Amino acid sequence: MTHHVTDAAVGTLEDSGFVPLPGLVPAAGLARLRRAAAQLRKEAAHLDSSAGDFVLEAAGVGGWVAWQQGDPQVAGLLRSVSRAHHYAPDLAALQAELDLPEDLVPQLVGAPGVLVNSFLWAKPPRLGSEKPWHQDMAFAPEEFDTEAHSVVTVWVAVEEATEANGCLQFISGSHRHGLFEHRGDSERRPGEPPLADAVEPHVDPARVLPASAPVSVPLPPGSAVAFDGMMLHRSAPNSTVGEPRTAISFVYRVPRPVWSHPDRRR
């Protein structure tokens, strides 16, 4: 599949740190994404609490905090899945068939990408919790060479993403300011005791970029947004009664862009 990325879109990514990609995934590909999401939900159906790459949702504090504190979660109700393509292998095949790493990513950043992770992001109605402001590069594993590489994420809406059900929000231009300090708790390792009053790692934009204003990016199913690994972004809770917000993202390792400075902290 050949993508047609305009110079204007490339300029938007470089200047703003994110760029919407309308209609990126055709109908047949969207159907495969939906089947993969259903497969991942089936994998989680037997879980009473978060385990490994599968994070369940929880009322009130949200899935991540409940997981870290050892609090009750909603059995079988997914919030997220990391390494999603390991559990739903068709995701790896689909992103390759869509030529995301070999055609789309090179047009966006000038070099091919290597798939390093994929996620299911499920935000169920009424219970779907906030994902606080953060930069993806803050969570790069120790072996990731941040001097040479960064990441670019292609986030695809599987169901409509709206401001009401928790579409992504960005701080335009924040990718040019280096890696901000993320305050909060590190994810506890298997076997470690629960944390008291856990705080999900986050950045306060009002503290680091006081003049900034969030930009919401609603998307219809099959459309996507690509963004730089240093981009400050979040998603609000799903406040709707019956509008689930489901997305699948593909994370690609790329040569570090000239505008990105992951070694600089503020």
What angle do the packed helices 27-44 and 90-97 form, to 10 degrees?
A: 160
* Domain assignment present for 2: no
pLDDT above 90 (res 191): no
* Domain assignment present for 76: yes
* Domain assignment present for 204: yes
pLDDT above 60 (res 16): yes
Q: What is the spatial distance between Cα 101 and Cα 107, in angstroms, rounded to a whole number?
A: 10
* Domain assignment present for 96: yes
Q: What is the spatial distance between Cα 120 and Cα 36, in angstroms, rounded to a whole number?
A: 9
* Domain assignment present for 183: yes
The full 3-state SS of 202-224, as one line of letters, equals ECCHHHHCCCCCEEEECECCCCE
Domain boundaries, position 213 = 7-43+53-255
* Domain assignment present for 144: yes
Number of domains the chain contains: 1
Using the Cα atoms of residue 47, residue 50, residue 51 and residue 54 in order, give the sign of their dihedral. Answer: positive
What pLDDT is stored for residue 255 in this prediction?
A: 94
pLDDT above 60 (res 261): no
Q: What is the spatial distance between Cα 247 and Cα 175, in angstroms, rounded to a whole number?
A: 22
The encoded tokens of residue 111 equal: 């070099």
Lowest mean pLDDT, pick from 112-126, 228-242, 245-259: 245-259
* Domain assignment present for 265: no
Residue 218: C-alpha distances to residues 77, 87, 136 (Å): 24, 28, 20
* Domain assignment present for 48: no
**Over the stretch 100-135, which tens digit does the pLDDT of each residue have?**
999 999 999 999 999 999 999 999 999 999 999 999
Count CA atoms closer than 13 A to 67's CA, side-chain side.
Answer: 27
CATH of residue 127's domain is 2.60.120.620
pTM: 0.95
